[in-house]
Amino acid sequence: MQELCLSTNAIEVLKRRYLRRNEDGEIVETPEEMLRRVARAIAEVDANYGARPSEIDALSEEFYRLMKDLLFLPNSPTLMNAGTELGQLSACFVLPVEDSMEGIFDAVKYAALIHKSGGGTGFSFSRLRPKGDVVGSTRGVSSGPVSFMEVFDSATEAVKQGGRRRGANMGLLRVDHPDIVEFITCKDNINRFTNFNISVGLTEEFMRALQEGQEFSLINPRTKKAVKCVAPGEIFDLIVHQAWKNGEPGIVFLDRINAGNPTPALGEIEATNPCGEQPLLPFESCNLGSVNLARMVKAGEIDWQLLADTVKNAVHFLDNVVDANRYPLPVIAEKTKGNRKIGLGVMGWADMLVQLGIPYNAPAALTLAEKLMSFIWEEGKKTSCNLARTRGVFPNYEQSIYYPNLPLRNATITTIAPTGSLSIIAGCSSGIEPYFALAFERNILEGTRLKEINPYLRQELERRRLGSDSLEAELIARGKLADIPGIPDDLKKLYVTALELTPEEHIRMQAAFQRYVNNAVSKTVNFPASATEEDVRRVFLFAYELGCKGVTVYRDGSRSGQVLSLHATEKMVVPRGRPQTLTGVTRKIATGCGNLYVTINRDENGNLFEVFTNIGKAGVCAQAQAQAIGRLVSLALRSGVSPGQIIKQLKGLSCQAPVWSKNEKITSCADAIARTLEQELGEKVADERSLEGACPDCGGRLEFQEGCLVCVACGFSKCA
């Protein structure tokens, strides 16, 4: 059997997040042992359905080969936890938020348990009464859904998922909720709701009112009565503006999602998981996995038989995960096993296209996308039907109206989910996204950087004898072939990148895959920095027209403070001017040179803006150095550098006179300034860093793709 072949980057990602460790934090398994652990744990489920030990051994080998050959990988919690004491294998959950104090804090508690076990959570806050509404039990007034989101955000901050994955949430509010305007603008300040993605649930009624120019009613969810009539265009314009400004909120077409709800008798779908691709009923969870399309191309053609065999084994694998899973709550186990939803998707789509010689934005790519996903859907259904014949249909099948006369083991089969870390392990492009950049650098050791060039492009450049150090340098700087002298036009056309595509081309690709996906598609529509609000509005309406279930957009550089965008090397950074009035605080901290007074001022949006320092009883040299550090920190903040990155550079620097202050060692004035900044930010440093362009794990570049910020170098994902 061929050995497992992984890239250096894949091995680093596995070491950082996936491989088992002992109590001392030491890695105690190899990548091969991890895959065998997972394969065995999932294969053993067949014993529940009468499989003999020899059959289980054979199935374990088949599942191992499936993953070892990088044909398919399950979602991260399955790789991390299958065959371990934790045993929680689902990636995503949806929890209800009831309109009572007990219901709200039950949801907070349940979310904490899920985050601890390695899952992400989605919530609809649409049932909560609006701000200012009566609270009968206390004769007081409600603070509204946005204020309670703060509680969820703080709870998530306190829990690190499974020790290896960060907490992530989706917050959704219906467009007809009276607090919708407050919700749409709730992430204006980048330091708020750092553990949330947010989406507005648009209804068919709202879209009709928008198209017809009619008034639209906002409904109090407690009384079910209209409380206000609004112009839908004003609400839509605000959504567009905020999405243009910083990428949020996304939009979800709720009625369209519920039109595809396979079990409407069990309830209405109100929310999705953190990246929006998995709509679920309250208390449902879903396990996901992805076929590596890059491995399905042989001699320039798609190997359809290999793809069919891979889908068959992957559906069997994912159905077994439903049984192997140790759910964090009994009610989640009940709901999940009742519908047995799985989500088989794809990764490596951009790699498949370049191997076939098809540009991402060519009509042939759209045709192939539909053909490919239709094939996966049909093969998936076939396998689910075969499993149903031997194991039985999903328990709630009789209440399903989505599949009349089609016995299925699983209520849903296909989903296209984010594959940030998985695609690095598999050595392929992410999901159905185009290439964001054709080359980048990553840190592998302190001070050592490794150049990563798209392997298909590198091979083609070498074949044409075009490769050179200067070309690599240009690729690293630009990330694309356009405007690089000496590159043939056919290569520029084939290796098109995300920001070279029109937004409409992004949406057409999403819609092509959506036609044969039960659940939804995680994809980001990337805009250049120069895009207008009208461009965003047009894409939102186009997504609705083409039948998408939701859409996420991102305009390059639009997140406040983002400094590492694709074209960062081509831009001159100009510090912001200082307003006449700023507000701030002064903190005193002991150093080896005496008491250091650090004044930190914030701008009108509450973001850190400048730092002043003063040292009592210190010499001129120490005064000058502290003042210089303050000026440079201020310059960096005003130029959009993340405070988290500044802290990372200064914290721990040592001088000859360290001191102890308030039970912590202050190693220098620079260290004192870093710790003061950290205190001012509170415990949100890591998330604040991740929002502003630099990976908090490795310092690499973050890209907005598949509905979330991900690191191209190490696989870090804000949405985990």
The residues carrying an active-site annotation are: 273, 275, 277
Contact 262, 211 (CB under 8 A): no
Contact 72, 317 (CB under 8 A): yes
The b-or-e profile of 178-209 (16+ CB within 10 A means b, else e) is bbbebbbbbbeebbebbbbbbbbbbbeebbeb
CB atoms within 10 A of CB 639: 13
C-alpha 76/C-alpha 60 separation (Å) is 19
Cα dihedral angle (346, 349, 355, 360), rounded to 10 degrees? 160
CA angle (121 as vertex; 333, 688 as ends), nearest 5 = 155
Per DSSP, what are the bridge partners of residue 272? 279
The pairing of strands 583-591 and 594-602 is: antiparallel
C-alpha 130/C-alpha 126 separation (Å) is 9
The b-or-e profile of 268-294 (16+ CB within 10 A means b, else e) is ebbbbbbbbbbbbbbbbbbbbbbbbbb
Strands (E), 401-446: 439-445
552 DSSP assignment: E
C-alpha 360/C-alpha 338 separation (Å) is 39
- CA-wise closest residue to 175 among 93, 243, 231: 231
Contact 677, 608 (CB under 8 A): yes
**Taken in order 577, 578, 584, 588, is the CA torsion positive or negative?**
positive
Provide the CB-side half-sphere exposure for 569 (13 A, CA). 11
CB atoms within 10 A of CB 362: 16
CB atoms within 10 A of CB 258: 16
> Within 213-329, where are the H helices?
232-246, 254-259, 304-324
C-alpha 200/C-alpha 174 separation (Å) is 6
C-alpha 34/C-alpha 28 separation (Å) is 10
What φ, ψ does residue 597 adopt, rounded to 5°? -105, 120
Measured in whole angstroms, the distance separating CA 484 from the mean position of its chain's CA atoms is 32
- CA-wise closest residue to 124 among 276, 229, 227: 276
Contact 667, 655 (CB under 8 A): yes
Residue 445's contacts (CB-CB under 8 Å, 6 or more residues apart) are none
130 DSSP assignment: P
The b-or-e profile of 668-689 (16+ CB within 10 A means b, else e) is bbbbbbbbbbbebbeebbbbbb
Residue 439's contacts (CB-CB under 8 Å, 6 or more residues apart) are 451, 452, 453, 454, 472, 475, 476, 479
Contact 524, 552 (CB under 8 A): yes
Burial (CB < 10 A; 0-12, 13-18, 19+), residue 492, is middle
Please report, for residues 76, 209, 424, the alpha-carbon distance to residue 292 in angstroms, rounded to integers and kept in the order given: 15, 42, 11
Q: Which residue has the tokens 């949430």?
A: 169
Helix (H) or strand (E) holding 196: strand 196-202
Helix (H) or strand (E) holding 669: helix 669-681
